[in-house]
Structure formats: C-alpha cells, structure tokens
Amino acid sequence: MNDGIEFHVEDSGLAILRVNRPDARNALNWAAQEAFAAAVMRVAQTAVSPDPAIRALIITGTGDKAFVAGGDLKELRAYPEPEAGARLNRIMGTALAQLTELPMPVIAAVNGDAFGGGCEILTACDLRLAAAHAHFSFAQVKVSLTTGWGGTGRLVRLIGQSRAMELLLTARLIDTEEAYRLGLIHRIVPAADDVLQMARAWAAELIALPQQALAFTKELVHTASHATLVETYWQETKLFTKLWASPNHLEALAAFREKRPAVFNKEKGD
C-alpha cells in the first residue's frame, strides 16, 4: 500500500501495518486514514476465510520518534466545516471499531510518542508494548476536541473511569513507566532492544497457539467488559463446549498423553 501506510503479510501469518510518515511524526492525513482503514478491512476479510492467512497483526510506526501523532493538523486545519469532522470521525472510528473485533491478536509496537489519535489506536489493540523512551498524551482537549475515534470508551474499560478522566481532562504527558503502571501498555522494551523485533517474537508465540481458542478468548473478554456475569457465563459455556471437540484440543490431549509438544493449527479453520 502507499499513501503513508505500509501493509504486508508474511509467510508465518503475521501481518504488519506500519504508518510511514516520519516527517509528519506519523500523523494521519486524509489519504493515510483511508489507507489505514483499507488495511484493517483487508485483515477482517481475510479472517473470515476457511483458512485465514493472517494469524496476528502488528501496528507500528516508522522511525523512533513517533508511533502515531493523531490526525495531521497541517492538512486538517484547512477543513474547518462540520462535514470534515464527521468524515474524520467516521473513517478512523469505524476502522478502530473493526480493529477491536478482529478474531486474531492485535499488537501495538509503540516505537515512539503516541499523541491524540495515536493513543486512541493503542486502546483498540489487544496487546501493547512500547519503547522505553516513548511518551503518551490524550491531547485532544488541547485543540478543543474530545476523542473522536472511540478512545474514551475503550480507555475507561482499560484503566478505569477515575484514571481515564484525569488523563483526558489534563491531556498531560506521561512516560512509558507510568503508562505501564496504569495498564495502558503491557511491556516496556529496553533501549537496547528493537520494538518491532520484540513484537514479532510476541506474535510468534501467539501464532503457535490454537487460533480458534485465541479468537474465542478475545470474544469472551469483550463480552465480559459489558455483559453481566450470567450473560458472560453462558457465552463462556457456548464457546468452551464448541472448543472441546475441536482438532486443536484433541491435539493437546494427544500431546499430553504422548508426552510431546503439541502442534496446533494443523487443520483448516482451527
């Protein structure tokens, strides 16, 4: 792809979506937003095939300065009309909603600072690791906006209402250590290590696990975030029962019996 977005799928089943606008701190102009949304759509379409080619997705940025700096204000300031705001909300809001629903693990490899919409992208990813030098700010209020890509709802669910309120109202800058303590990121990548390589290693671990069990677990976690305990239990019962006779579970039982490592995803659609 072009327009500031690079997307490719490797033989291992790992897809990488990279925002490639380093001169603009990887901010998303109109073209990049459309290309980002198209890449997510492509992953979603692949995921419903009988033998999905994509088993995990990494989202990252180019360089070591910025992950994503939100929307590109240099371009967007030329579009003050309400219709432009609606378009911005629709393109990326829809893309990030779709991102959360993907049935495979989505990893954010935060190579640098994440501001505004960049932080909203983080909240739509399942797992998040960040370079030790990265900083974060939900900076929308500084330009007289709220989050516009679904970030507030997801942030509240990730770190709780009180902490989310403080970050959103103050737009203050936090470092990686604080982001880790808050639960905004899961792992800190030391300065000597490469963020993307660490994300690749994490993705490889996930790709080796049973694909359908990962998808069902994601679905169940999302259900638990808004449903009652009883509703979540019934969903859990349905998914657990469906997995019980699956080829991957039978392989796990055989491997246990034979005292060998299990080899998952041998069957199509597992």
Q: 198 CB contacts (<8 Å, ≥6 apart)?
A: 109, 129, 187, 189
How far apart are alpha carbons 107 and 126 in whole angstroms? 6
State how far the Cα of 152 lies from the Cα of 156, in Å rounded to an integer.
6
Q: Which residues pair with 108 in a beta bridge?
A: 59, 128
Locate the DSSP E strands across 113-178.
Answer: 113-115, 127-131, 135-137, 174-175
H-only helix segments in 208-246: 211-224, 229-244
pLDDT confidence of residue 76: 73
- With a cut of 70, say whether residue 269 has pLDDT above it: no
> Which pair of structure tokens corresponds to residue 236?
């859990």
Q: What's the pLDDT score for residue 82?
A: 77
Greater confidence (51 vs 151) lies with: 151
The Cα 182–Cα 175 span in angstroms is 11
pLDDT at residue number 202: 97
* CA angle centred on 91, ends 87 and 94, rounded to 5°: 125
Give me the pLDDT at residue 265, please: 84
Segments making up each domain of the chain, as ranges: 5-207, 211-258
The span from the CA of 227 to the CA of 250, in Å, is 30
Cβ atoms of residues 25 and 66 within 8 Å: yes
Helix, strand, coil: what percent of the chain each, to 5? 50, 15, 35
Q: How far apart, in Å, are the Cα atoms of 78 and each of 29, 74, 84?
A: 11, 8, 10
Task: Give the SS3 label for residue 129.
Answer: strand
Kindly tell me if the per-residue pLDDT of 78 is higher than 80: no
Q: Do the Cβ atoms of 40 and 98 come closer than 8 Å?
A: yes
Share of the chain above pLDDT 70, in %: 96
Give the mean model confidence (pLDDT) for residues 168-195: 96
pLDDT above 60 for 142: yes
The 10s digit of each residue's pLDDT in 117-137 is 999 999 999 999 999 999 999
- CATH class of the domain at 5-207: alpha beta
H or E stretch at 8? strand 5-9
Residue 1: per-residue pLDDT: 54
pLDDT level of residue 50 (50, 70, 90 thresholds): low
- Please count the CA atoms within 13 angstroms of the CA of 14 that sit on its side-chain side: 18
Q: Which helix (H) or strand (E) element contains residue 153?
A: helix 151-159
Mean pLDDT score, 195-207? 97
For the segment 66-95, the average pLDDT, to the nearest whole number, is 84
pLDDT of residue 150: 95
- Mean pLDDT taken over the chain: 92
Confidence (pLDDT) at 89: 84
**Segment 46-61 mean pLDDT:** 84
